[in-house]
Amino acid sequence: MPDAAAVPRTPPSPPVPLATLLAREDLGLRLLAGGPVDDVAVHWVHTSEMPDPYPYLLGGELLLSAGAHTTEAAGTGPYFDDYVARIVAAGGAALGFGLAPVHDAVPRALVEACERRGLPLLEVPPRTTFSGIARAVWSLMEQVRHAELRRVTQAQQGLAAAAARPDPVPAVLGQLARFADGFAVLVDADGAVIRSAGREPARDVARALTALTGVVRGPSAGARPASASDTVGDTRLSAYALSGAGGHALGLAGPSRGSGEHTVAGAAVVLLSLLTSGHPGTTASQDTDRSAALVRLLLGARPEEVTDLLGGGEWRVAHLRWTGAAGGAPAPPALPTSLLDVDGDRVRALLPADREITGRPGWAAGVSAPAGPRDLQVADAQASRALSRARATRTPLVHHRAAAPDLALTPLLDSAPLLETLRIWLSLHGSWDRTAAALGVHRNTVRQRITKCAALLDADLDDPDVRMELWFALRYIA
């Protein structure tokens, strides 16, 4: 197996067909060697006059050069062959050679070297600047991005509409298969097919897809990943675990058609997870209402417009993160809600305000204050900060606390020394020595008072949010 560090990696940009660049009359590029170019894609443009461009290439580039690095003797020795070999080894997509001011024609030895190595060689006329070629590639990339964004948006809208149909699971799978231009299958924890849609794949592809879903499915699969991928010939395979669906998994097979595939598949996983899994304590009608709420949100509704479907009232947001052994995150813990967002070792949950969660072994959790639908983003930020505090303090569960200013300092109101010590300590950013000097006491006295303040307030004074709340509370009573 080749060293991963030696395998060229193309830049993370949408590819542009080299044939499209050649078809641009305004550029006037001419293919001299290395054809045909129907399957050649350009991921970037790089200009270099280095005799060895290998260290500067990521792979997939159209390398542009005016030949300033060549010498008069280059055409009679192995120079050009070595030069082209290094470009090919780096994964370069093609070489563009500019005419003038160094060369009046592309060296014959370079044409022959590119033909031998199968590297497309383009002649760049004097009227075409290298920056003009780069602008043309960027423009084409932007067109590709916009087209992919439209395709993904249309697919998500199609999935949302399919989920609202009377028989939503096969409708969602059918929509997904059309987007992937291939095959979609939903399997249970044992690998048995529940539903499928699209063109049946070849036998070897079907076997590989079944094996791939086995990587992510299963109710007790311990360290199973949330997704997995593979390739069989020209077919791209993907598998996704469904959250709260009894170990079900989604499998996809089809040609790779762009970076939006994972985004659309992720939306389908969320929909299928909700459609195939009920939640203890909820009725079928409630599950249907929640699915309808999700569909409306995907179609652009505001959170407050679907509150009634979600059950009304206030909600809490919970964030959980696996803190156990690396790579050992189990399936998401059981929570009193089916509204989950699972991403590997991270879980976000939306639960009614009257439901509580408890600490789970190996997991750190942060829970927000109760919030209405308009304030769910604030609650999400609160849960995130609470989770950070839980991980920092190695506490299984931390709730967001936001005491009112007139109540926060109640336990200290009868002790002027404690209030004054806390005020000065906070104003000096927690410095023991500077606080002691300001008060004219020993630093150990400061420590004892601050420790007593923390105990009386039942607060973590190392938490910057708590310090901020207390500082404003002190200003409020001043």
- Write down the pLDDT at residue 265: 84
- Write down the pLDDT at residue 455: 85
Listed by start position, the domains of the chain span: 4-128, 149-276, 313-399, 405-477
pTM of the full predicted structure? 0.46
- Write down the pLDDT at residue 192: 85
- Write down the pLDDT at residue 101: 86
- Write down the pLDDT at residue 155: 83
- Write down the pLDDT at residue 4: 40
- What is the amino acid identity at position 126? P
- Write down the pLDDT at residue 323: 81
Q: What is the CATH number of domain 149-276?
A: 3.30.450.30
The Cα–Cα gap between 211 and 202 comes to 14
Q: Mean pLDDT by 10-residue block, N- to C-terminus, for the chain (478 residues)?
A: 43 81 94 91 92 90 93 76 94 93 91 95 95 92 84 83 79 88 87 88 89 78 71 88 75 77 81 67 53 69 69 81 67 70 81 80 86 82 83 80 59 86 90 91 92 85 79 69
**Domain 4-128: what homologous superfamily?**
HprK N-terminal domain-like (3.40.1390.20)
